[in-house]
Amino acid sequence: MRLAEAWRVALDALRANRLRSVLTMLGVVIGVAAVVALVGIGTGTKGQIEQQVEGLGSNLLLVVPGRLEAGSAPAASTMTLDDVEAVARVVGDRDRVAATIASGETVRAGSRTAFGSMQGVLENTPSVFVRRLDRGSYLTRTDVTTGRRVAVLGAGTATTLFGDRDPIGRQITIGGVRFRVIGTFERLGQSLGVDRDSEVHVPVTAAQRLLGTDRIDGLAIRAPDRERINQLSTAVVDTLTDRHPDSDFSAVTQEQILGVLGDILGVLTGVLAAIAGISLLVGGVGVSNIMLVSVRERTKEIGLRKAVGARPRDIGVQFLLEAVLLTTIGGVLGMALGVTSALLVDALSPVPAAITWWSLALAFGVSAIVGIVFGVVPAQRAGRLDPVVALRTE
């Protein structure tokens, strides 16, 4: 029998049992749709987070107190501005070492109030992290050494407090202390779930006086090149440990953060895909089951076809094509449903989704293979039917 003829016969058989074919397909449709949508959501989320971490600036090394290990409690910082000077000497460039002390504070301007994340920083922060000013100017070296009460506002805070008015030169209070606005940042949006437009940058010394401490929370170092990051990381941690023998310090690179997040999201995506894959498998079992029923129902037809000259192969191919048609049509419908769901999730919810060609190709390939795998047994059974027995069946 010609293959084109076999396709036509298989299609006719599916059409003859329309409702049954559709219900059988549904298992495959749901399975494939789940794989495509969930992999799309996993990929989209991973891409967004990577973009955000990279958006912090390249070749960054973050130094925080305590050990970054599962199960260890966050440690109180023992670092001071003297440690920043010591680390700057190790790095060899003062402009590459940023320090931060952060605290959530109420910020007021006249009758308006905003909740801001006050960041006590050095004047070099915009060159270590990627931060661009919208208006005014940033903190100066003098601001930091003299502890001048000046502030640079995030775009969100600026809008909340001043609306469309120009905030430059105006007075605000942070935690009840008066500051003068000297600049505003460009809008950044969310990063890793933190609203970065509510940051308020002030000189680290002013922040320390406000909070009544001489400590800082952590350091950020911008390495001159990628190759030196690991070497710098060890040298910086050693220097800090020498100065504070009783404390632990950890240094993490962007690559490490990306790696950890990537691993977690990769596992998560894998688990989601596996669950979806199981539903595809269940769909395949459904196809196998229906094909066995179909073979039994059409025993007489098989006997007649054999009597007039169908070889076992012809009958086997016919039933195999039927199973493959069921799963590939189901696969195509499932892909459409999966892509639609992923796009809807992307558009209507904060969860991002990215459709990758490989996940579509994989889903289609898997559904075709499911058809072949689960169609083989019924097809072989049909092909091997004894024509004498088959013709006698009523």
Partner 1 sequence: MTAAIVATEVSRTYDLDGVSVSALRGVSLTIEPTDYLAIVGTSGSGKSTLMHLLGGLDRPTGGTLLIGGRDVSGLTPGEMAKLRNETIGFVFQSFHLLARTTARDNVALPLVYRGIGRRERRQRATEMLERVGLAHRLDHRPNQMSGGEQQRVAIARALVTGPSVLLADEPTGNLDSATGQSVLALLESLNGEGVAVVLVTHDREVAARAHRQIVMKDGLIVSEASV
Q: How far is the CB of 320 from partner 1 (least distance, A)?
A: 16
- 382 touching partner 1, by CB under 8 A: no
Q: Specify the stretch interacting with partner 1 by CB under 8 A; choose among 146-154, 200-208, 309-317, 340-348.
A: 309-317
- Separation in Å, CA 85 to CA 90, 204, 208, 219, 239: 9, 14, 17, 11, 11
Separation of alpha carbons 137 and 140, rounded Å: 9
Contact between 27 and 286 (Cβ < 8 Å): yes
Contacts with partner 1 by CB under 8 A: the residue count is 23
* Of 36-44, 117-125, 297-305, 336-344: span binding partner 1 (CB under 8 A): 297-305
Residues 6 or more apart whose CB falls under 8 angstroms from that of 74 comprise 66
Q: Is residue 304 at the binding interface for partner 1, with CB under 8 A as the rule?
A: yes
CB distance 315 to 384 below 8 Å: no
Of the residues 73, 308, 347, 348, which one makes contact with partner 1 according to CB under 8 A = 308
CB neighbourhood size of 341 (10 A): 18
DSSP secondary structure letters along 244-312: -TT--EEEEEHHHHHHHHHHHHHHHHHHHHHHHHHHHHHHHHHHHHHHHHHHHHTHHHHHHHHHTT--H
Tell which one of 225, 309, 347, 350 touches partner 1 (CB under 8 A). 309
178 touches partner 1 (CB under 8 A): no
Distances, alpha carbon 251 to alpha carbons 62, 248, 258, 272, in Å? 5, 10, 14, 32
Candidates 49-57, 59-67, 219-227, 301-309 — which segment interacts with partner 1 by CB under 8 A?
Answer: 301-309
Nearer to partner 1 among residue 207 and residue 310 (C-beta) = 310
Which tokens go with 305?
Answer: 């076809």
User: What distance in Å separates the CA atoms of residue 325 and residue 372, rounded to the nearest whole number?
Assistant: 10
Shorter beta-carbon distance to partner 1: residue 251 or 302? 302
- 195 binds partner 1, rule: CB under 8 A: no
Residue 1 is a binding residue for partner 1 (CB under 8 A):
yes
- Check residue 297 for interaction with partner 1 (CB under 8 A): no
Binding mask 10-49 for partner 1 (x = CB under 8 A): --x---x---------------------------------
Comparison of 96 and 306: residue with beta carbon closer to partner 1: 306
**CA neighbor of 116 nearest in space, from 49, 174, 48, 50:** 174
Binding stretches for partner 1 (CB under 8 A): 1-2, 5, 12, 16, 300-301, 303-314, 386-388, 391
